[in-house]
Structure 1
Amino acid sequence: MAAEKATTQTAAALLATQCSRAYFDLVAQGGPIGVTVGPSSPGGVAIHVEFRGVPDSLGNSVYLEPADQVPMEALNGVRYQHSGFGVALVAFALPCSDRPICHLYPPEGVFRPVTMWLEAPADPKHHDDTPVLVLQNTVLQPEHVAGSNHYALAEDRSAPYAQLLERSRLKRLAWWGMIGGAELGKRSGLFLLDDYDPNKTPIIMIHGLGSSPVIWARLSNAIMGDPELHRRYQIWHIVYQSNAPLLVERYRVQHYIDGAWAILDPDGHAHARQGVVLIGHSMGGVIARLLCAQSTPAVWDAAFSVPVENLHADATDLTALRRVFQFKPYPGVDEIIFMAAPQRGSPSAEGLLGRLVGLLAWRNIEELAGFARIAVENPKAIQPVVLSMLQTGRITSITSLRPDEPVTLADEKLMPAAGVRYDTIAGVLPGVKPPGDGYVPLSSALLPGSTTTLIIHSNHQVPMKPEAIADALKILREHDATHDALSSAPP
């Protein structure tokens, strides 16, 4: 492979790749193999394992599986890969617990793309002829150098994500989370789809009611599969229990983002804190808008008839109340992409399904317990409609999506702060009255002031549609160019 003749280089690289795959298939016997840095003997064959640029998230021990054996059903059959030197593998590590950042890795484990090959020991003076099994991170080190020759590595960026999706229980837990099931609440938080990079712009994706980050599978795959976008952006997924009222959900999501920054950038100086992009689907889009808005007295007045200072309650309950009703635009965000977001509520919340879910969803809303205690001590300070909902336990995510709900009527007027660009993607189906995607009317999904608006033929699953994905990628490229121009402009 270090030869000067091009035909020799090509033939040697192909032979090395074929031999490396044959070795893997021999020791794996159709299943994954486990290896640890240093001396190892998978399948009884002695080797020395060497990690090159492999991220810390994988630790020192991984399980390996050929990328081409991972099914792509979870990603609609779309696989981003390219051929090259070595064998493209999925490296999988069990969840860690010894560092704060472990809390930001999916509980299913860490899945990353690596490329494997066998080579001779670097220093024959040691008289050790044990072959070296190299695992190299294709994201940080996309080439292998032999002599003066550079070989692009084989790579499969989709297989690790597909493997994570195959193992995930989120899709099954999402519905139960909406109606009060506690399991999704235990799983809630912000999770890194990539290894954290202080210089890459975060894209924070917020799912909707009764949903999960699985809704972002195809879009996330497309971003990671685009070399230029993936070089500039890192993907973060929010998981939240979607049973609480909108302002409570907004508070929860802010809490998850704050917690992630406290772990990743405690000093607050990372370049990644600027130019953050939010993408929200359905109720997640409304949460994204509220995250970038300034609360007003009208929102407070929709629920209370006296100032917060006049309420008699436990200090902890009052602090939680202030955090839910009094908020500022989240710092660092300058782009939002709304997908099928009911910015002015949804008639579906008033239908039979909405009423049924509303009867169940009040369970396990910890924040409302404090609000209920405040209502008991200050019944005349609560607006009658809100007081009735608190007393009956009927104030939930469903009720807060009803177009006539008092707090919703107030908070729907809250717009993203100046300097935050936002784009809207909405779906419409033939024959649906009023026009919309079957759940969100077009009149509710379209938001005045959007930089761009795209209406596509789609049901409510807008983020899964090719047209929506293509538009989101276009918006991200334009945001990237704009952010670069602003960053390089003289002060």
Structure 2
Amino acid sequence: MAASDARLLPAASIIAERCTRKYLEGMGRLPTRSDTTPVEAGGVNLIVSTQRLSLNLADVVKLHVAEGPVQRATSAQWGVPVVLIGDRCVGEERCQLFPPEGIFRGATAWIEKHSQDQGLVRLVVAGDAQSHVRLGGLTVPLRTDFDAAYSRGVRTSKLHRLGVWGLIGGREVGRRAGMYLLDDYDPTKRPLVMIHGLGSSPLIWEKLSNAVWSDATLRQNYQIWHVVYQTDAPLLVQRRRVQQYLDAAWKILDPEGDDPARSHIVLVGHSLGGVIARMLCVDSGPSLWHAAFSAPLDSLEADASERALMEEIFYFHRYPGVKRAVFIASPHRGSPSATRWFGRVARALVGKRNDEVATLLKVARRNEAAIQPELKEAYLKGRINSISTLQASQPVSAAGQRLVPASDIRFHTIAGSKSPDVASDGVVPVSSAELAGAQSTLVVRSGHNVHESPEAIAEVIRILVEDSSSD
């Protein structure tokens, strides 16, 4: 590799890759800090040298050779892509921003020989923030697989099942609710906040997340954050919760409130998640309150904590720092599924027992005369949840549909159409997914899982490339 003839590099690179893989076969665990003390791996003693690994990884992690396709260039690349898996830290606030399954990070490994290592092989492991290595007189790109770490995390997660149970009142997903960072926080990168839909989980974003990481420009400009939330509560409650998750993350990551990342947030939401994203882009004014109650808030019989909660639910401003949003298959004008027979069955099953709704119902029952007539039965009998608030005719929902993103927030819509004759993805009509004033509107041939279609993913990537070049 020290030869000055670059024509030898491809062949040498292939030999080195095969050799490194042989050594890695015996490495079940890896120390993450460089040490001159030899480590035994598969009967062979190695010196481990680490470069630019995540500081959030534990001192010892599991090592897996990446199983996905390796990104190969026409010129030689160096090393073997690997995934490092460590337990989530404990005892510090930042630990809550990482998934309970653990911390998954990509890296590249290769072997070297150094005279000072007393004849032992040196295994070098570099974090995926490092893109090149110096070999002799040449600078060579490292082999990388940016999909591998998250894909392995997806396979270990129980969130798919928990998301469904959370819709009908299961509590486990609620205990895990919050904002999760998929990589180490970077104060200069734009947060790309992804919000899943009804009865779902962040695992739906695997294809889109990997598409972002696979683009060098986007990888340099964005950090991906995933929201986990229990989807059984009404829309306005969900909006408040997601705002709280964002606030909690910023309090930990940027308590001073001056990081560049904070001033340019991009939201991407699917289905109900897209409606929540839109509600994070708007100023409510008094319209939502007037749709629910005929009397001023301060005139109601309620204690201070109840009144404060009601104000947070019904009165709010656009979330600071949001500059762009992408709404995918989102029922901005409601969904017919919420009123059909299976919608009625679902409304009966969907969980209703949460603190915010309990408070709303207590206040409503104490102030029955102040409830708008159209909502009196629902509020007095507790018939409000995530599905009931997606009914286009529901008064608060109808008022929310008229709220549009602030004028300085650029937004885009992507809708699905199952066939040329059906202007719907089977759940959300195209007419409900589209919004006047959008920077772009795309309709793709798809069912409700529009977020996984190649056309939709390509459109989001296009939007992000455009966004990355903006101020």
TM range (shorter): over 0.9
- 1:344 paired to 2:343: no
Q: Deviations over 1:262-317 (max 9, x none)?
A: 11111111111122111111111111111010012121011111111112212112
Contact persistence 1:209–1:242 (CA under 8 A): yes
Name which of 178, 183, 192 aligns with 2:172: 183
1:295–1:414 Cα contact (<8 Å) kept: yes
Per-residue deviation, 1:61: 1.4
CA contact 1:80–1:225 (8 Å) conserved in 2 = no
Q: Structure 1 residue 432: deviation in Å?
A: 6.3
In the other structure, the counterpart of 2:57 is 58
Q: Give 2:309's aligned residue.
A: 320
2:321 matched residue in structure 1:
332
**Residue by residue, what CA displacement relative to the aligned partner does 1:296-342 show, whole Å, maximum 9, x if unpaired?**
21210111111111122121121111111110011111111111110
Q: TM-score scaled by structure 2?
A: 0.94
- Distance in 2, Cα, partners of 1:281 & 1:66: 32
Letter in 2 for 1:45: V
- In structure 1, runs of 5+ residues without a counterpart are 71-78, 484-491
Match of 1:302 in 2: 291
Q: Which residue of 2 aligns with 1:469?
A: 457
Aligned to 1:230: 219
Aligned pairs for 1:81-92 (under 5 A) are 81-82=71-72, 84-92=77-85
1:257 alignment partner, SS class = helix
CA deviation string 1:57-116 (max 9, x = no partner): 223211111113x5xxxxxxxx56236211111111111113322111111111111111
Residue 12 (structure 1) shift: 4.3
Which residue number in structure 1 is paired with residue 4 of structure 2? 4
Q: CA deviation at 1:129?
A: 4.2
- Show the counterpart of 1:451: 439
Q: CA offsets, 1:419-467, max 9 Å, x none?
A: 011111111123766x211111121111111111111111111100011
Match in the other structure for 1:277: 266
**8 Å contact 1:426–1:446 — kept in the other structure?**
yes
**What is the CA–CA distance in structure 1 between the aligned matches of 2:231 and 2:313, rounded to whole Å?**
16
SS class of match (2:351): coil
Q: Which residue of 1 aligns with 2:372?
A: 383
Indicate the percent of aligned positions where both proteins have the same amino acid. Answer: 43
1:99 and 1:383 mapped to 2: Cα distance? 46
Distance 1:478 1:15 in 2: 41
CA distance 1:397–1:463, shift in 2 (3 Å): same
Superposition pairs for residues 117-128 of structure 1, below 5 Å? 117-121=110-114, 124=116, 128=118
Contiguous gaps of at least 5 residues in structure 2: none
SS in 2 for 1:82: coil
CA distance change for structure 1 residues 121 and 318 in 2, over 3 Å: closer, same or farther?
farther
- State the partner residue of 1:102: 95
Does 2:109 correspond to 1:116? yes
> Alignment partner for residue 218 of structure 1, among 207, 217, 222?
207
Offset of residue 50 of structure 1? 2.1
- Offset at residue 48 of structure 1 (A): 2.6
Rounded Cα–Cα distance in structure 2 between residues aligned with 1:217 and 1:104: 18
Corresponding residue of 1:142: 131
CA distance in 2, matches of 1:183, 1:319: 27
CA–CA distance in structure 2, aligned partners of residues 196 and 344 of structure 1: 36
TM-score where L is the length of structure 1: 0.90
**Structure 1 residue 44 displacement after superposition:** 4.1
1:90 partner letter: V
The alpha-carbon distance between structure 1 residues 431 and 393, as it changes in their structure 2 partners (threshold 3 A), is: farther
Please state whether the residue corresponding to 2:469 is helix, strand or coil: helix
Q: Distance in 2 between matches of 1:128 and 1:148?
A: 24
Deviation of 1:16 after TM superposition, in Å, equals: 3.2
**Quick check: 1:145–1:151 contact (8 Å CA) kept in 2?**
yes
Q: Quote the offset at 1:383 in angstroms.
A: 2.1
On the 8 A contact 1:142/1:152 being kept in 2, the answer is yes
Matched-pair contact (CA < 8 Å) for 1:362–1:395: no
Distance 1:170 1:261 in 2: 24
The answer to whether the 8 A contact 2:233-2:352 is kept is no
Q: In the aligned structure 2, how far is the partner of 1:370 from the partner of 1:18?
A: 63
Query: Matches of 1:183 and 1:330 in 2, distance apart?
Result: 27
Displacement of 1:194: 2.0
For 1:133, the aligned partner's letter is L
The CA RMSD over aligned residues, in Å, is 1.8
Equivalenced residue count is 465
